[in-house]
Amino acid sequence: MALQKSVNLYQAAAVQGDRASQNPFVYTPQNYTAGADITVGSFVWESAEATDPKQVLNTGTGAPLGFVERILAVYNYDLTSEGTLIIPKGQNVTAVALRGDFYIPANTTVTVGMAVFANTTTGAATFAEAGSSQSGAVETSWRAMTAGNEGDMIIISNEAPVVASSGGSSPDLSSYAKADLSNVTGQLPIANGGTGVTAVGTAGQVLTVNSGADGTEWTTPTGA
């Protein structure tokens, strides 16, 4: 590739299109080829052209097919060229995600819960309030899971539950993944997800349901 022109003090948090978690991801059941140059970390639509395999494009109408994950699957044979996030026309697009957590750059100041919109001309992902009308873009099921300023890498997801806020259509995720465990001491009952026991058994014992089928106890397994 071309000679390096700058040096950063710190490693980038992520690159556009990178996975942002180890949560389950869902992809299209078939692979596609690029009907035109495809930008990684953007949205794509299935081409109406009858081809085998089918093609995807960064342009379309209505809800996009999915999001293109960055998986470093395309070779760059021009050793003097700059690195790009482009999958050339005709190359395989092997990771079109239907669900998952990814990084994308913020096009504006982003707050948690903002909706992700797909530009119908470029496939670019942008942020705006859920339910708002954005010229040349359609709202997707993805939402901002982190906040940041323009240019920051933002985690987006369509896996987390979204709860409507009392003030309007913007989702309120302020209580997401929070739990008050300050009063959890001693024995944790079965009804609350515990085992109902307060001590560890002896070596070789296993935790089983008692004879009354109303609790658990440590028992020593017997031979078959």
Q: Are 2 and 56 in contact (CB under 8 A)?
A: no
3-class secondary structure, 191: helix
167, pLDDT greater than 50: no
Q: Are 16 and 41 in contact (CB under 8 A)?
A: yes
pTM score of the predicted model:
0.68
170, pLDDT greater than 50: no
pLDDT class of 5 with cuts at 50, 70, 90: confident
Instruction: Between 53 and 128, name the one with better pLDDT.
Output: 128
Amino acid at 4: Q
CA-to-CA distance for 217 and 200, rounded, in angstroms? 10
Instruction: Tell me, rounded to whole angstroms, the distance of Cα 103 from its chain centroid.
Output: 8
Q: Are 104 and 82 in contact (CB under 8 A)?
A: no
CA-to-CA distance for 117 and 138, rounded, in angstroms? 5
Spatial CA neighbour of 123 closest among 109, 136, 106, 105 = 136
Spatial CA neighbour of 12 closest among 200, 153, 178 = 153
Where do the domains of the chain lie? 26-157
168, pLDDT greater than 50: no
Mean pLDDT of the chain, nearest integer: 84
Q: What is the mean pLDDT of residues 50-67?
A: 91
- State the residue for tokens 């999001």: 67
End-to-end CA gap in the chain? 67
Q: What is the mean pLDDT of residues 62-67?
A: 95
Percentages helix, strand, coil for the chain (3-state, rounded to 5) are 0, 30, 70
Instruction: Between 183 and 148, name the one with better pLDDT.
Output: 148
3-class secondary structure, 79: coil
Q: What is the pLDDT of residues 107-156, one digit of tens each?
A: 999 999 999 999 999 999 999 999 999 999 999 999 999 999 999 999 99
Q: What is the pLDDT of residues 88-107, one digit of tens each?
A: 999 999 899 999 999 999 99
